[in-house]
A and B are shown apart, each in its own frame.
Chain A
Amino acid sequence: MTQLNSYRTGPDEDGGFGIYGGRFVAETLMPLILEVQKAYEAAKDDPSYQADIDYYAQHYVGRPSPLYFAKRMTEELGGAKIYFKREELNHTGSHKINNVMGQILLARRMGKTRIIAETGAGQHGVATATACALFNMPCKVYMGAVDVARQAPNVFRMKLLGAEVQAVESGSKTLKDALNEAMRDWVANVEDTFYIIGTVAGPHPYPAMVRDFQCVIGNEAKQQMLEAEGRLPDTLVACVGGGSNAMGLFHPFLDDKGVNIVGVEAAGHGIETGEHAASLTGGRPGVLHGNRMYLLQDEDGQVVEPYSISAGLDYPGIGPEHSWLKDLGRAQYVPVTDKEAVDAFKFCSQMEGILPALECAHAIAYVRKLAPTLPKDHIICMNMSGRGDKDVNTIAEIMGVSL
């Protein structure tokens, strides 16, 4: 592992985290990306912007989210103490709203009047549709046709909130294709439109900006853990698709050298089957969607269609900062299969009375394996990044239950 004095100084001024990140976009978008960067840098220095974010975080999103000691699960597994950071209790049911509020407030400062977004599981789409309703802005959400089918409740929620949901029929019809379409929309509507990217990927400054908005998760967790245990956790666990909930939890702890950091990737039917979405385990560096990152691709540099039961993890890439942390060895990334995640979904539901999103069920599956191997004074903090109500149809189908 490479030792740095600080792991929290990235990106560099060109958006680089080591070789990852950057601004790989068409010229039409380039002036816009620079405009977003400039506006974000100015906003960061404006106390009234942070005050706006704090106001909505407290009164609209419902922050801070609790840090919860999962007592039954801890006792059942018989090892490390397990805490959940309860991001699923946020308004709209996931961590996605943290980032959306930051970006929509920025869009308003920039005088933009129309919002677009991509979504996989629909959590980011719902959060964006919600904020657009709040601020009375037209909203178009791009969603792969496959995801529209498997996340029907979230599609309906977005429509109820007044958003237009565009099913994307190109490519694998999942998250990557939704991102392509959203970028195409942006290229055609640069004057009035702000693109709210939902994860820590895309051209600079998005990976850093989204991370900054999500860092509220880790900052709160750190404080709450000190209050609960008088010390920092030993291990952090979070699921990674694009990587925003994980980065939000991890980043504030990166320089706390005693804290182990583990991201959990979607191994789908198993890494060996090739049907998975584990870009860090099964991919190599590549360029897509405006940044260099670990990417699932064939030997000719063509993007391979990812697979996961979880629509929110079904993405062939991973944010550039995660890619960098993997190479440095500061964070480890482990794969968890569909089956393990579904078992963990049921386990968590019955053990703690919390229906986790299928995305976080991957993190729970890893905690389930890890906790019994650790001593009782070891503390695990896992990000419960979303709630599983949206996934009950998928789970029912797997169990052969018709609703």
Chain B
Amino acid sequence: MAETMDTGFQPDSGRIAARFAKLKAEGRGGFSTFVSAGDPDYDTGLEILLGLPDAGVDMIELGMPFTDPMADGPAVEAAGLRALKAGQTMTKTLAMARAFRDVHPDTPLVLMGYYNPIYSYGVDRFLTDVKAAGVDGLIVVDLPPEEDKELCLPALRAGINFIRLATPTTDDHRLPTVLRNTSGFVYYISILGITGTKEIQADPVRGAITRLRRHTDLPIMVGFGIRTAEQVREITQVADAAVVGSAIVDRVRSNLDADGKPLPGCAKAVLDYVAELAAGARN
């Protein structure tokens, strides 16, 4: 069996726990966004990233671009490829995270992506640099609990949250395995499929959240298939937070010229749109 040892270590979920406590005090669910680091280029990507908290974003998933994002749909794949084409690297992504943390001391920042760029960078070096950059957690799509020894356990030992994905196929029998070494929050993938391809349905999500709550006290964030302020509103009423990704990176794409360069006001257009979505979590 996979290594399922308990690390005996509870990472300090710090900013993540504080943010969920604040949301609870405000009596609302949180709004999170996914953006691909360096999309459409480093400077514009950084401008978007830095502007997200003021646009009403409660926590941020920053995508580490990868050539072969198997769990993502065309929108997120294209965003990552745009960033790579513009010269994004892991080193630059970590620099963006540091720059964000310098400006925004309280907003949780989670890195999301696939394992190979991390493995290539070196797990120990990665964890050291992630910690130094003020990153709060990791979501690595292709590392299920069966591969915990690769990164999850080293991350927990380094005091970095490892946020696990639960899906409609994660049944009651499997949930304890999935939840065992997870921390910070649980990311519930609301659809069977890849990002940005199906519309979320609130009712099945409500049932799934109830089921998850029987297994964990961690906050639950819901994503995949949320595209509108109305859906943000619906989901934040049943879950602790909702995350939007594909719809936002689509908005980046629609503010590029024919050569893929950002049009004037690209970052502002994206942030205005994010603010519209964020309102869904506040009404």
Interface stretch of the complex, out of B44-52, B103-111, B143-151 = B143-151
Decide if A184 is an interface residue (CB 8 Å cutoff).
yes
Q: A188-B193, A302-B117 are in contact. Are A28 and B71 (CB under 8 A)?
A: yes
* Contact code string A24-36 (vs B, CB < 8 Å = 1, else 0): 1111111110000
Greatest chain A CB density within 10 A among B77, B144, B166 is at: B144
Q: B residues within 8 A CB of A30?
A: 144-146, 169-170, 174
Q: Evaluate contact between B67 and A302: CB separation under 8 angstroms.
A: yes
In the complex, the answer to whether A187 meets B194 with C-beta atoms within 8 Å is: yes
Q: Which of A1-30 contact B (CB under 8 A)?
A: 13-14, 22-30
A105 within 8 A of B: no
Asked whether, in the complex, the Cβ of A24 is within 8 Å of the Cβ of B194, the reply is no
The yes or no answer to A176 lying at the interface (CB within 8 A) is: yes
A128 at the interface (CB under 8 A from B): no
What is the CA–CA distance of A26 and B115 in the complex, to the nearest angstrom?
Answer: 11
Q: Which residues of A contact B141 (CB under 8 A)?
A: 26
8 Å CB contacts to B: which residues of A171-227? 171, 176-177, 180, 183-184, 187-191
> At the interface, yes or no: B70 with Cβ under 8 Å from chain A?
yes
Q: Does B178 contact A (CB under 8 A)?
A: yes
Inter-chain CA distance A190–B117, complex, in Å, is 27
Q: How far apart are A184's CB and chain B's nearest CB, in angstroms?
A: 5
User: How far apart are A24's CB and chain B's nearest CB, in angstroms?
Assistant: 4
Cα of A191 to Cα of B89 in the assembled complex, Å: 37
Contact with A24, one of B117, B142, B168, B193 (Cβ below 8 angstroms): B142
Q: Which of A29, A171, A187 has the most CB of B within 10 A?
A: A187
- A23 near B194 with CB under 8 A, answer no
Residues of A within 8 A of B118 (CB): 301
Bound CA–CA A170/B80 (angstroms)? 12
Given contacts A176-B68, A299-B120, A300-B90, contact A28 B1 (CB under 8 A): no
Closest chain B residue to A284, Cβ basis: B120
Which residue, A176, A191, A288, has most C-beta atoms of chain B within 10 A? A288
Bound-state Cα–Cα, A28 to B167, Å: 6
> A189 CA to B66 CA in the complex, in Å?
24
A26 surroundings in chain B (CB, below 8 A): 70-71, 141-142, 144, 165, 167
Q: Kindly state whether residue B2 has any CB partner on chain A within 8 Å.
A: yes
B123 to chain A, nearest CB (A): 12
Chain A residues with Cβ below 8 Å from B12 are none
Interface residues of B in 160-208 (CB under 8 A from A): 164-171, 174, 178, 189, 192-194, 197-198
Given A184-B194, A288-B68, A300-B120, A27 contacting B90 (CB threshold 8 A): no
Answer whether A25 and B119 are a contact pair too, CB < 8 Å, given A31-B171, A183-B70, A187-B193: no
A23 and B197 CA atoms in complex are apart in Å by 25
State the Cβ distance, B264 to closest chain A Cβ, in Å: 29
Beta-carbon nearest neighbor of A303 in chain B: B67
B14 at the binding interface (Cβ < 8 Å)? no
Cβ A297 vs Cβ B68 within 8 A: no
Please, which residues of chain A bring their CB within 8 A of the CB of B143?
24
Of A31, A188, A190, A301, which contacts B194 at CB under 8 A?
A188
Known contacts A13-B1, A171-B67, A287-B142; decide if A27 and B165 are in contact (CB<8 Å): yes
Q: Is B212 an interface residue (CB 8 A)?
A: no
Q: A28's closest neighbor in chain B, by CB?
A: B167
Q: Is the CB of A23 within 8 A of B147?
A: yes
Bound CA span A290–B170, Å: 18
CA distance A380 to B87 in the complex (A): 48
Taking CB as reference atom, which chain B residue is nearest A24? B142
Q: Using CB atoms, name the residue of chain B closest to A177.
A: B68
Q: Are B170 and A22 neighbours in the complex by a CB distance under 8 Å?
A: no
Q: Which chain B residue shows the least CB distance to A32? A: B169
A22 and B150 alpha carbons, distance in the complex (Å): 11
A290-309: which have CB < 8 Å to B? 290, 295, 297, 299-303
Residues of B within 8 A of A189 (CB): 192
Q: Are A180 and B142 in contact (CB under 8 A)?
A: no
Contacts A187-B193, A287-B142, A303-B68 hold; do A27 and B166 have CB atoms under 8 A apart? yes
Q: List 10 A-B contacts (CB under 8 A).
A: A27-B167, A27-B189, A30-B146, A30-B174, A31-B170, A170-B77, A171-B68, A176-B68, A290-B142, A302-B65
Binding site for B on A (CB under 8 A): 13-14, 22-32, 170-171, 176-177, 180, 183-184, 187-191, 286-290, 295, 297, 299-303
Give 20 A-B pairs besides A23-B146, A188-B197, A303-B116 with Cβ atoms closer than 8 angstroms: A14-B1, A24-B147, A26-B165, A27-B144, A27-B189, A28-B169, A30-B144, A30-B170, A180-B70, A184-B73, A187-B71, A187-B194, A188-B194, A287-B116, A289-B70, A300-B90, A300-B121, A301-B66, A301-B90, A301-B116
Chain B positions near chain A (C-beta within 8 angstroms): 1-2, 65-68, 70-71, 73-74, 77, 84, 89-90, 114-121, 141-147, 164-171, 174, 178, 189, 192-194, 197-198
The 9 A-B residue pairs with the shortest CB-CB distance in the complex, in nearest-first order:
A301-B120, A188-B193, A301-B117, A26-B71, A28-B167, A303-B67, A24-B142, A27-B165, A30-B144
